[in-house]
Amino acid sequence: MVNTTIKTTKSQEIFAAAQNLMPGGVSSPVRAFKSVGGQPIVFDRVNGAYIWDVDGNKYIDYVGTWGPAICGHAHPEVISALHAALEKGTSFGAPSVLENVLAEMVIDAVPSIEIVRFVNSGTEACMAVLRLMRAFTNREKIIKFEGCYHGHADMFLVKAGSGVATLGLPDSPGVPKSATSSTLTAPYNDLEAVKALFEENRDQIAGVILEPVVGNAGFIPPDAGFLEGLRELTHEHGALLVFDEVMTGFRIAYGGAQEKFGITPDLTTMGKVIGGGLPVGAYGGRRDIMSMIAPAGPVYQAGTLSGNPLAMTAGIKTLELLQKPGTYEQLERITKKLADGLLKVAQETGHAACGSHISAMFGLFFTSGPVHNYEDAKKSDTTKFGRFHRGMLERGIYLAPSQFEAGFTSLAHTDEDIEQTLAAAKDVLSSL
């Protein structure tokens, strides 16, 4: 039995003060531990696969700042590139060669991207891509999938997965009906439902947007033929296919899920890894579509800090590190060890569970499954997940504080980290 008493006095003090300063004490809702109970841990620093809280406790981290930290936190080469970039200033608000370098790297890597626009977040990328979809097709309706999250813009806050689901908000107050009236939804992995929507809305659907591998309803991979089917249906109906690879980009494979599954969408949104831990987003795709973006074309989209030199620098260095031979083999090996191990431990300790992984993304649901979509995911025992989460935290393992979030590994996670995690999981699950 591991010592499970951790002291979190300072975390508690700081979070108590934060509650009076910021709504719910946080800058983004899923950080608030609402769905797992207890108080969030307040961080002091991160390095490699680890985080340290303000009370000095060390945790093995499987959140990775929600995805960007694929090379490990504060990688020395990223930090030193940032130091050098910092000397030249923090923002230009004008073109820099760094944008060209990162753009070329993204274009070379991601099959669908012929030309790219940098923004500051995944939300911004998805908002812009939606405007572009509508402008290019001259149609208003879009199809999204239940449990997929595409940022917090009004039009996407319909059955929007993780944060919204975790907080039990069906949609958000403040989103006008008119903003979502053109957003049609279907269950993930359900081609027939998508077909029906296309039939019912002939020549009205601008496109289909999805997480090609879902991370925001827990980890849900696409069924065989699903992505292919969407590609065919969108072609057939003159609609665009958009992969939201904010989470999967450079994580599922160097070229994202589109490389892994060999399906090329028309447009792609990105974020997280391409900013190496600094705020970034991007969208790109077919040149004929992207040429509609201002100032090349009439579709307006802009940003004071877009293409920020620090974000570009961290992104370039992160992608350089990912290009090294063996990177994705290592991510696959370590994540398989973790995901298979967690599932085995859960089953051996008598819990209904299912889970899987692809490359550096994984998930474990407390339901016997199989989980093909968000409805299936919701059958999970979230109370049990909350207790599991707390138990793991007390044993120095930091998991995303929601059953409906994918987990992330990094190049910094070692075999010993995984073994320690599995030992902790065994200990916790034996006592639940």
Active-site positions read 149, 244, 272
Classify residue 147 as exposed, middle or buried by CB count within 10 Å of its CB (0-12, 13-18, 19+). Answer: buried
Q: Under the criterion CB under 6 A, does residue 66 sit at the interface with ligand PLP?
A: yes
Q: Closest separation between CB of residue 53 and ligand PLP, Å?
A: 23
Q: What x/- string results for residues 280 through 299 when contact with ligand PLP is judged by CB under 6 A?
A: -x------------------
Stretch that binds ligand PLP, among 31-39, 244-252, 318-326, 375-383 (CB under 6 A): 244-252
Scanning the structure block, which residue is given the tokens 């990223």? 78
What amino acid occupies position 285? G
Tell me how far apart the alpha carbons of residues 300 and 293 are, in angstroms, rounded to a whole number.
6
Q: Under the criterion CB under 6 A, does residue 244 sit at the interface with ligand PLP?
A: yes
CB atoms within 10 A of CB 302: 11
Q: Under the criterion CB under 6 A, does residue 246 sit at the interface with ligand PLP?
A: yes
Q: Closest separation between CB of residue 118 and ligand PLP, Å?
A: 13
Q: Closest separation between CB of residue 33 and ligand PLP, Å?
A: 17
Q: At a CB cut-off of 8 Å and minimum separation 6, what does 197 contact?
A: 143, 184, 186, 205
- Rule CB under 6 A: choose which of 48, 151, 276, 363 binds ligand PLP: 151
Stretch that binds ligand PLP, among 108-116, 194-202, 239-247, 386-394 (CB under 6 A): 239-247
Stretch that binds ligand PLP, among 164-172, 187-195, 200-208, 242-250 (CB under 6 A): 242-250
Segment 115 to 144, residues that bind ligand PLP, using CB under 6 A: 121-123, 126
What is the phi/psi pair of residue 327, to 5°?
-55, -55
What is the phi/psi pair of residue 50, to 5°?
-120, 155
Tell me how far apart the alpha carbons of residues 62 and 213 are, in angstroms, rounded to a whole number.
18
Cβ nearer to ligand PLP, comparing 11 with 121: 121
Query: What distance lies between CA 119 and its chain's CA centroid?
Result: 16
Q: What x/- string results for residues 177 through 216 when contact with ligand PLP is judged by CB under 6 A?
A: ----------------------------------x---xx
CA angle 136, 142, 145 (to 5 degrees): 140
Residue 392 tokens read as 């793991």
Segment 262 to 281, residues that bind ligand PLP, using CB under 6 A: 271, 281
Q: Closest separation between CB of residue 431 and ligand PLP, Å?
A: 32
Q: Closest separation between CB of residue 334 and ligand PLP, Å?
A: 22
Q: Under the criterion CB under 6 A, does residue 96 sit at the interface with ligand PLP?
A: no
Q: Closest separation between CB of residue 297 and ligand PLP, Å?
A: 24
Query: What distance lies between CA 160 and its chain's CA centroid?
Result: 13
Report the residue closest to ligand PLP, judged by CB. 122
Provide the total of helices (H) and of strands (E) in the chain, helices listed first.
Answer: 15, 14
Of residues 140, 64, 127, the one with CA closest to residue 303: 127
Tell me how far apart the alpha carbons of residues 108 and 105 are, in angstroms, rounded to a whole number.
5
The footprint of ligand PLP (CB under 6 A) covers 66, 121-123, 126, 149-151, 211, 215-216, 244, 246-247, 271, 281
